[in-house]
Structure 1
């Protein structure tokens, strides 16, 4: 159903891919936009239980796309460094494919908002709870249920890892 990575030697392990999803702070959510055009929007997120959670307003282009088709993708770049002399980039990334669902369950919505607050503002626990209460009726949570995810490392990143490993031998 999903394509295999063409350059298999650049594919990250499942553990490495999940680590990028867990540690990332933002990515690009792509949905089916207006007139069949793809719509990609940068989003903060939190990853847990093999799902990605986003918060957003209760209306807008993004949610219209999700309602049009629940099939979405989400791309996270873990590392990114341009290597000018090599005309290349040392990078790691993950693309997750799955189905997006607007969270209706209030307990799950509250938990996702708490996870987001803890992830991005861990030192502001009380303020985070107050923000959740004050925005409750205006905020929407979307859960991306991951069906397939693949991580990839650029060739320059692989060379760096190989050199680092060789230095330990």
Structure 2
């Protein structure tokens, strides 16, 4: 990272950002073109969990190339100034890279969906087997992640 004073190096600080973020932007490569998707997610032990319908472009891409990256951010705020070039922004963010694995089996899907739901609510979620059978779940095992903060 170019500006070391903005770098977040502590894993617990990055985990806190991951836990507070509401949206994860998942980035994949599609025929040498970037493709980015904002998604709901769950996070546990440096693994991101996502759910999806059974078909779609992102799934086709991930089945062909499971390498992916992600970005989350929190506490974003514009800091205006008298001069245009002096405007700034406050934020905390995490960017990382990893490999996607599809989750198979009802109990594994139940575990993944529970992690996703716990990200957004303290309520205990119950999933019917028929619901889980109709959803596609995948996880991104994070290989590397870096954090950054400003302001």
**Number of aligned residue pairs:** 146
**Aligned-CA RMSD value:** 1.6
SS, match of residue 8 in structure 2: coil
Q: Which of 5, 27, 30 in structure 1 is aligned with 2:27?
A: 30
Larger Rg: 1
Tell me if the contact between 1:94 and 1:150 (Cα under 8 Å) persists in the aligned partners: yes
Tell me if the contact between 1:77 and 1:93 (Cα under 8 Å) persists in the aligned partners: yes
Counting only pairs closer than 5 Å after superposition, residues 83-94 of structure 1 correspond to structure 2 as: 83-85=79-81, 86-94=86-94
> What is the alpha-carbon distance in structure 2 between the residues aligned to residue 57 and residue 153 of structure 1?
34
Per the normalisation by structure 2, the TM-score is 0.88
> What is the alpha-carbon distance in structure 2 between the residues aligned to residue 82 and residue 94 of structure 1?
18
Tell me if the contact between 2:106 and 2:129 (Cα under 8 Å) persists in the aligned partners: no
- Unaligned runs of at least 5 residues, structure 1: 158-169
SS, match of residue 19 in structure 1: helix
